[in-house]
Each structure stands twice: as structure tokens, then as C-alpha cells.
Amino acid sequence: MFYRIPEINYIYVSKLDEALEVLHTLDNARVLAGGTDLVMDLKIGRIRPETIVDISRVDELKYIKDEGDYLRIGALTTLQDIVESSLVRAKAPVLVKAVNEMASWQVRNVATIGGNLCNASPAADSAPPLMVLEARLILASREGEREVPITQFFKGPRKTELRKDELLKEIIIPYERGSGQHYIKLGRRDAFTLSIVSVAALVKVSNGKFSDVRIALNSVAPTPVRAYDAENALKGREVNLENIENVSKLVLNSISPQ
């Protein structure tokens, strides 16, 4: 059921400092990045903030930077900028694979990576790849910044570690040299659909054995999850289909409901 968006205060900011100052003074505010989740939530009445703080033009949060051992991505970087980035493709290919399967070109041109994470949908497609890459999130408030591992960011459906005066500012993605990375999304259709389940995997192999294994899934629990039992069981084992198939059952230990 769709409703008209009720009257709401609207504050437009063009600088990060301004945004943080405004958030510090308000009790019931939501930031608007691309608006592709937020506007729908307002229309169906899922959220009723008193104020919208429009950060969509805070250009200082739109960047992809290469720091050698890691990438830094500003929270307001659009999904399409990530898909088209040769840097991200080279250093975090699993993220490009996942984002490439999100929504449509038109939506990806306005939707942001920060919005996908902060919306905290269990089906968020950027979460599993960032979890296997062990990304870290920089949360900013007027008081300063703090760094949170992405595995500790999601607290439940639509719930995150963010305090009401905080913004997601940046995503730090370590460069996992010598790793194989993949993302598989199962939806109701082949394209333009939300996940029924998606899996991101990152593995390293040495002398024919798994030396590192990371597996993350979405849509199978209240938050995106890492499948630690399956990961640990595969580490040190020979790389063959039998081992993978045997261990795959352990993924059930990490999902809920099973």
C-alpha cells in the first residue's frame, strides 16, 4: 500500500561537516543519499523521520582511491561508478561482480554503496563481497571518526551499528593479492531482482590446498552472514569437488532459519 509522503522537514547540505553538525542537533532525522530505498520506505510508512538531511551533493564523499594495499571508497560513490571502475575490477573483483547484478543501470546511476550498506537489508548485494574482503567502515560524527569491521556493522534487518548522529563516510577494502573471488546471485529472475540467496567466496590456494577460505551469504538470516564453520573446515584441505561438497553442508550452521 502506497501513501503520500507526509510533510517533512528537508535540509540540504553540501559539505560533510555541515551534515555532521545537523545530525548532531536533530533527534529524528534520516539522511538521503540516492533515495532508492529511502523514498520507498517513506511512501510505505516504514519510517517516519521528522527531517530528511539530503547529502546527495556532498561531493567529498564520492571517490575511489588506490592506496596500494587497500582501496578507499567514499560512501556516496554510485554503484555504477563501482561497476565501471578498473581499479575496483582489478583489486576487488568480487565487489564488481556483485554490484553488476544489482538493480538496473538507471538505478545504479543514483544508488550509492553507502546507502546499500546503511539500509541494512538482509538481501543487500554489496554486503557479502565486502564481508569476504574483510572491509572496514569509517563512521563519522561531529565527535570524530571510528572504524568498524563490516562483520560487526549489521545488527538486524534495517539495524546497524550507526548512532543517530553518525554517517557512513568511507569503506576500506584490503587488496587480497593472489586470491580467487566469485559472486553468485540466485533470484526469481536472471536480472533486475532481489536475492533469494547470494554467495560471495574468496579463496587462496597453496600447493593444491586451501590456505584461506571466506564465504558470505545474504538473504538467509536477519543480516548478511559469514559461514565460518564451512570456511574453517575447508582450510588446509585439498582443492577438489568432494571436499567442497562435503563441507558445503556446514553452511547451514550459519544461517537462520535453516
Ligand X SMILES: Cc1cc2nc3c(=O)[nH]c(=O)nc-3n(C[C@H](O)[C@H](O)[C@H](O)COP(=O)(O)OP(=O)(O)OC[C@H]3O[C@@H](n4cnc5c(N)ncnc54)[C@H](O)[C@@H]3O)c2cc1C
Q: Which residues bind ligand X (CB under 6 A)?
A: 30-38, 75, 79, 102-103, 107, 111-112, 114-116, 118-119, 123-125, 162, 167-168, 194
Specify the residue, 107 or 184, whose C-beta has the smaller distance to ligand X: 107
Nearest to 133 by CA among 77, 206, 82, 71: 71
Asked if residue 95 lies in contact with residue 64, where contact means CB atoms within 8 angstroms, the answer is no
CA distance 229 to 233: 6
Specify the residue, 30 or 91, whose C-beta has the smaller distance to ligand X: 30
Helix (H, G, I), strand (E, B) or coil at 79: helix
Residue nearest to ligand X (CB): 115
Strand order from edge to edge, sheet including 29-32: 9-12, 51-54, 29-32
Specify the residue, 99 or 233, whose C-beta has the smaller distance to ligand X: 99
Specify the residue, 111 or 199, whose C-beta has the smaller distance to ligand X: 111
Least spacing, CB of residue 143 vs ligand X, in Å: 15
CA distance 34 to 121: 16
Cell representation of residue 62:
564520492
Least spacing, CB of residue 44 vs ligand X, in Å: 12
Least spacing, CB of residue 46 vs ligand X, in Å: 10
Least spacing, CB of residue 94 vs ligand X, in Å: 15
Least spacing, CB of residue 197 vs ligand X, in Å: 13
Q: Which residues of 80-91 are buried (b: 16+ CB within 10 A; e: fewer)?
A: bbbbebeebeeb
Specify the residue, 194 or 239, whose C-beta has the smaller distance to ligand X: 194
Torsions phi, psi of 95, nearest 5?
-70, -40
Q: Which residues pair with 187 in a beta bridge?
A: 195
Specify the residue, 81 or 231, whose C-beta has the smaller distance to ligand X: 81
Least spacing, CB of residue 30 vs ligand X, in Å: 4
Specify the residue, 80 or 151, whose C-beta has the smaller distance to ligand X: 80
Contact residues for 116 (Cβ-Cβ < 8 A; gap 6+)? 37, 79, 102, 124, 125, 126, 127
Straight-line distance from the first to the last Cα atom of the chain, in angstroms, rounded to the nearest whole number? 30
Least spacing, CB of residue 74 vs ligand X, in Å: 9
